[in-house]
Structure 1
Amino acid sequence: MISAIKSSPNFKWWVFSTIAIGTFLSVVDHGSVLVALPNIERHFGSDLPSVQWIVVGYALAISVLILPMGRLGDIIGRKQVYIGGMVIFVIAAALAGVSPNLGSLIAAKIFQGVGSAMVQSAGIAMVIESFPGTERGKALGTHLSVVGAGAIAGPAIGGLLVSAFEWRSVFFANVPVGIFTIFISMLILPLAKPEPPAEEEARQRFDWGGAVFSGLALLGFLLVVGNGDRLGWTSGLIISGAIATVLAGAAFVWWELRFPTPMLDLSLFKRKLVSFGVAAGWFSFLGSSASRFMMPFYMQRVLELSPREVGLLLIPPAMCMVLLGPISGRLSDRFGSRGLTVGGLTVSAVAWVIMATSLTEFS
């Protein structure tokens, strides 16, 4: 049966579906954890600046490693990286569920971020590789719908689990689904591994310097931004951290411009479309991420809603991603992405203004 699937003209959609399961799982995990954060804070008797590292540590691991893991997939094969990432994801979820204290929970989430970086980098690369250029917009749009579906299910599932059981169930729920994903991936995903001589040569060209410098720059940035209010923006530690962050970023740029096979080809940013597109995506993600992190605390602390109610209220924005993802992908293939991007960012900006005004008045 597996051989028949691999020889089928629809095999690309089998690959897509297999990767979509892992994508869905990682997004569900993130959304459900956000809803559980206030309960985790109360359980450990902690505070918001400490609890935020559950999310920040996870995101930091992904940010630091997603480019190196993409390069690693080129070297040893994307299937191997994807499955290895899922194994790490499942183990880390189990460790998070049995964490005896906040520190071990944060460590488990950082470890899980390593797995997510492997899954995300290898997964999206396999999707792009499996579809011809004329269908990639449709594939990526459908992939966005999977992300949206996970964003819908995550808060809802998290709210139900926390209300019915406790916050640990949010992490344990990942284990059986993750094991199933590993099994399916081993059967379905195509094996693409370079020949031994090419593999050895690629290993020698792996951009370890770029990985280290980018990691230091991102870590420094997060530490400075996360502790600026608490320590004071003019304190010696914050100023020193900011200087170190700038130096690490400058070292990353210097290294990437000189390394023969860079982790990030900076020459791409000479193209205005790439530069402005990355900048727009960065600012958009910055705003939406801050909102997703703070809303569960606002709803449970200020509005005094239950975790289940919070989960349900976080569904509408994710529902839009599910409905509009495939449509925008097809429109992008046909008309280009510029108009859709500008229109989407404009609508988002208006929505943020309305929400900020409404929340201020309600408070």
Structure 2
Amino acid sequence: MKQMLFLGSFPASYFVRHPKWKWFILSTVLVGATMSALDVSIVNVAMPTLENGFQVDLATIEWVAMAYMLTLTIFLPLFGRLADMMGRTKLYNMGFVIFVIGSALCGMASTAGFLIGARIVQAIGAGLLQANSVAIITEAFPENELGRAIGLQGATQAVAMAIGPFLGGILITTIGWRSIFYINVPIGVVGTIAALYILPKSTVHKKEKIDYWGTLSFSTGLAFLILGFNQAGRAGWTSVTIISYFSIAVVLLTAFLIVERKVACPMIDLSLFRQWTFSSGNLMGLFSYYILFAVLFFMPFYFERILKLSPAMAGLYLTAVPVAMAAMAPISGYVADKYGAKIMTTSGMIACACSTLLLSSIDHLANSYILWGALITLGIGMGLFTPPNNSCIMCSVPKNRLGVAGGILNMMRSLGLIFGVALSGLLLMLAQQHYMTNHPLEPGITSLSLYDSAFLYGFRLVMLTLVAISLVTVGLSVSKNRQ
């Protein structure tokens, strides 16, 4: 068997003939899911260290995270489309190799600029992995087991995101910041070898041309849109720069829609969005991550500024969300396979509405049981919602469009993160300004306590908007035709 495994053709016949081959495929995909999810959260804790180590300002070092997220988001649909044309396994394996190279380059970085460039390489590899992972799972599993498989993938990603900051803190403290990138190298090497021997051969359904104009207009337009949202908090929403970014984005994305209607082989087949399950599922996915990351972004400010907790204690509270997600996701996928997705996606969003409603009621004397309950409920809600929703999206498209569907699914998740932070941040800022304008300083009230009151006012308003978004998502879930 040793000769067969190491000298035989790819994939190895041992795995192809094995009755549990699909589970070997899932395990291999989980390696990539772990690596890409771990890298998102593990890097955030290193930002202050990188800022001091490279002797650059915060605006520069923020691009270590921004370059990764921007590159990943704008290229996901393209990588999915290329996978449909060239073969998913081929591009998935390429993703492992590029991610390992990018991680090694990040670890060797001697300047902030080099590190940012290496993060772009790393993001290209992560994009190839993310765009194809759900598509590979969808092809490997029958529809009545797909929810469980995607649930396990979601649980793995949640655990990786949960342990990322903790693991990153230990590595930075004991070894140094370069270790948080080098840790990806052995994981990626194992994943590459496993992918070669386990994943099925790439299947090309039809020879098609690359839509260069569609790719250029979409990627560039989406990049300007993301930059507009990301930079608006610093530059101001009414600044010439931000208005220019949004204007260019509107022009380019409009041009993209025109191009896609005319070309024979579009980058994104717009007819996919005529399928209500696909379009509503992606919109719901965007809303769900909008809610999740708005909460994850603002809760540390509440814990540290209002409750005066340490960063470690704030992190412990927030860990409840991914842990609850990880516990619930496989269960949700299994139940959805048996009884239908609608009941799980609807229940999940109702749980998110209850969680954000609880958070809208907290103040500077919040009960710890309420905080734990709200955050655990949010994690349960996301765990209930995400696997069956992703399963419905992927099952609603033909097999020769699974790659681009997976790319769009992951892109919508990234956009939910970006919009959730940017728009909620704008709402919080406006609410704070309104409160402080109408509540001037009075005798016995310090400027610090006034600011805290203004923050709580804005925080509650943000949470109430998240309740409303959750209820809108409940309505979309109920309206889905697919059970």
TM-score between both structures, scaled by the size of structure 2: 0.67
Hey, what's the Cα distance between the residues in 2 that align with 1:280 and 1:62?
20
The structure with higher relative contact order (CA 8 Å, sep 6+) is 1
Find 2:350's aligned residue among 329, 337, 346: 346
Task: Rate the CA distance shift 1:291–1:40 in 2: closer, same or farther, 3 A.
Answer: farther
Hey, what's the Cα distance between the residues in 2 that align with 1:291 and 1:165?
32
Task: Rate the CA distance shift 1:99–1:306 in 2: closer, same or farther, 3 A.
Answer: farther
Find 2:123's aligned residue among 113, 126, 129: 113
Query: Secondary structure at the residue paired with 1:167?
Result: coil
Hey, what's the Cα distance between the residues in 1 that align with 2:198 and 2:113?
37
Deviation readout 1:194-222 (Å, 9 max, x if unpaired): 49xx5xx32xx222222212211211112
Hey, what's the Cα distance between the residues in 1 that align with 2:58 and 2:359?
22
CA contact 1:35–1:296 (8 Å) conserved in 2: no
Find 1:316's aligned residue among 317, 320, 340: 320
Find 1:26's aligned residue among 18, 23, 36: 36
TM-superposed deviation, 1:55: 2.2
TM-superposed deviation, 1:135: 1.4
Find 1:54's aligned residue among 48, 64, 77: 64
Q: Which runs of 5+ in 2 are unaligned?
A: 2-11, 367-451, 453-483
Pick which of 76-85 and 288-297 moved more.
Answer: 288-297
CA contact 2:81–2:268 (8 Å) conserved in 1: no
The one-letter amino acid of 1:101's match is T
Task: Rate the CA distance shift 1:226–1:4 in 2: closer, same or farther, 3 A.
Answer: closer
Deviation readout 1:312-353 (Å, 9 max, x if unpaired): 444321111211111111222233323322332232244345
Find 1:82's aligned residue among 92, 113, 118: 92
| Equivalences, count | 356
Matched, 1:147 2:157: yes
Map of 1:330 onto structure 2: 334
Map of 1:68 onto structure 2: 78
Deviation readout 1:161-191 (Å, 9 max, x if unpaired): 1232332221111111111111121111121
The one-letter amino acid of 2:328's match is L
Question: Counterparts of 1:244-283 in structure 2 under 5 Å?
Answer: 244-283=248-287
Task: Rate the CA distance shift 1:65–1:270 in 2: closer, same or farther, 3 A.
Answer: same
Pick which of 85-94 and 255-264 moved more.
Answer: 255-264
Task: Rate the CA distance shift 1:88–1:301 in 2: closer, same or farther, 3 A.
Answer: farther
Pick which of 294-303 and 183-192 moved more.
Answer: 294-303
Deviation readout 1:265-301 (Å, 9 max, x if unpaired): 2223233333332222112223433554566788789
CA contact 2:37–2:161 (8 Å) conserved in 1: yes
CA contact 1:14–1:188 (8 Å) conserved in 2: yes
Find 2:200's aligned residue among 190, 195, 210: 190
Q: Which runs of 5+ in 1 are unaligned?
A: none
Pair member with larger Rg: 2
Hey, what's the Cα distance between the residues in 1 that align with 2:118 and 2:141?
35
Find 2:141's aligned residue among 131, 152, 155: 131
Deviation readout 1:27-54 (Å, 9 max, x if unpaired): 1111111222233234344454443332
Hey, what's the Cα distance between the residues in 1 that align with 2:21 and 2:344?
30
Task: Rate the CA distance shift 1:56–1:24 in 2: closer, same or farther, 3 A.
Answer: same
Task: Rate the CA distance shift 1:286–1:111 in 2: closer, same or farther, 3 A.
Answer: farther
Query: Secondary structure at the residue paired with 2:266?
Result: coil
Map of 2:417 onto structure 1: none
Matched, 1:230 2:240: no
Query: Secondary structure at the residue paired with 2:64?
Result: helix
The one-letter amino acid of 2:218's match is S
The one-letter amino acid of 1:43's match is G
Task: Rate the CA distance shift 1:356–1:97 in 2: closer, same or farther, 3 A.
Answer: farther
Matched, 1:288 2:292: yes
CA contact 2:217–2:256 (8 Å) conserved in 1: yes
Task: Rate the CA distance shift 1:119–1:167 in 2: closer, same or farther, 3 A.
Answer: same
Task: Rate the CA distance shift 1:310–1:29 in 2: closer, same or farther, 3 A.
Answer: farther
The one-letter amino acid of 1:158's match is G
RMSD of aligned alpha carbons: 2.7
CA contact 1:92–1:109 (8 Å) conserved in 2: yes
Task: Rate the CA distance shift 1:341–1:30 in 2: closer, same or farther, 3 A.
Answer: same
CA contact 1:156–1:312 (8 Å) conserved in 2: no
TM-score between both structures, scaled by the size of structure 1: 0.88
Map of 1:9 onto structure 2: 19
Map of 2:429 onto structure 1: none
The one-letter amino acid of 1:69's match is F
Task: Rate the CA distance shift 1:294–1:169 in 2: closer, same or farther, 3 A.
Answer: farther
Map of 2:460 onto structure 1: none
The one-letter amino acid of 1:251's match is A
Matched, 1:165 2:169: no
Hey, what's the Cα distance between the residues in 1 that align with 2:304 and 2:179?
19
CA contact 2:144–2:338 (8 Å) conserved in 1: no
Hey, what's the Cα distance between the residues in 2 that align with 1:336 and 1:48?
47
Task: Rate the CA distance shift 1:192–1:148 in 2: closer, same or farther, 3 A.
Answer: same
